[in-house]
Amino acid sequence: MDSAHERNVTLSERTIASNLAHNIINLRNSRGLTQQKLAKVASIPRSTITHFESGSGNPSLSNLIKLATALEVQVEELLSPVVPTVTMIKSFELPHKDKNGCLVYNLLPSPLRGLGLEKMEFEPDHGFTGVPHLKGTTEYFACVKGKTQVVVCEETFVLSQGDVLIFSGDDNHSYKNVGNTKAIAISVLVHQRINEE
C-alpha cells in the first residue's frame, strides 16, 4: 500500500513538473523573454529556470512566487494543466431539439455571454414558431441550403441559399421550409443589453 501511495505521489509530482515546464516555456515565449532575461527579472539563476523547463525541477514556493511575479500570472497558472486550444465536437455530441420535425442544434455547447449560434434543419413543408428572445436581441438568419420562409411580425420573407435576414429577435417570428428538399439554416443571436452605453 505504501508503494502504491509513493507511485501516486511520484506521478503527481511528475505531472506538476511537466505542467510547470510547459507553462514557463509558453509564458516566457509569449512575452518575448529569453531564459536569461526571465532569470534577471525573477532574481533566479538561469540554471534554475533551465532545470524547471526540463520538466524535472522541484521548485521552492519562493521560486514559484518569483516566477509568477516576473511572468505576471498567479502561481496556480504555472502549475495548472495545459488547456488545449482546439476542441472538436462531433455532430452527434451537439445538444439538439426536435421542433415539429425540425432539428435545432446548439453550436455553442459552452455558453458565451450575449451570443447564441444554432443550426436548423427543416424537412420539406416543416417549420416552427420561434420563441421571442430577450429585448435587445438581433437575429441573423442565414439560409445555407434549400429555401426557407421567415415570418417576422406578420411580414413574410423567402430566403434562398446564401441569403441572410436580420431582424429583432424579440419580435414574433417563425421559420418554414418552403422548398422540395431539406433546408439548412444558421441562426446567430446577438444580445445587446439595453442599458449598455
- Cell readout for 54 is 526540463
150 or 9, which is more confident: 150
Report the chain's C-alpha Rg in angstroms.
27
C-alpha cell recorded at residue 6: 509513493
Quick one: fold of 2-79?
A: 434 Repressor (Amino-terminal Domain) (1.10.260)
% residues pLDDT > 70 (the chain): 90
> pLDDT category, 8, cuts 50, 70, 90?
very low
Identify the pLDDT of residue 49.
Answer: 92
- Which of the four pLDDT bands, split at 50, 70 and 90, describes residue 46? very high
Return the pLDDT at 109.
72
Estimate the crossing angle of helix 2-30 against helix 35-42, to 10 degrees: 100
- Mean pLDDT within 86-110: 87
Same fold, 2-79 and 91-191: no
pLDDT for 111 equals 67
Q: What is the pLDDT confidence band of residue 2, given thresholds at 50, 70 and 90?
A: low
197 secondary structure, DSSP code: -
**Which pLDDT does position 193 carry in this prediction?**
60
Structural domain boundaries in the chain: 2-79, 91-191
As a whole number of angstroms, the distance between CA 103 and CA 158 comes to 20
Residue 155's pLDDT is 98
Q: What are phi and psi of 101, to 5 degrees?
A: 85, 5
Whole-angstrom distance, CA of residue 142 vs CA of residue 163: 6
Please tell me the predicted confidence (pLDDT) of residue 87.
Answer: 80
pTM: 0.58
Q: Is the pLDDT of residue 62 over 70?
A: yes
At the top level of CATH, the class of 91-191 is mainly beta
Residue 56: which pLDDT band, with cuts at 50, 70 and 90? Answer: confident
Half-sphere exposure of 76 (CA within 13 A, CB side): 0
Average pLDDT for the chain? 88
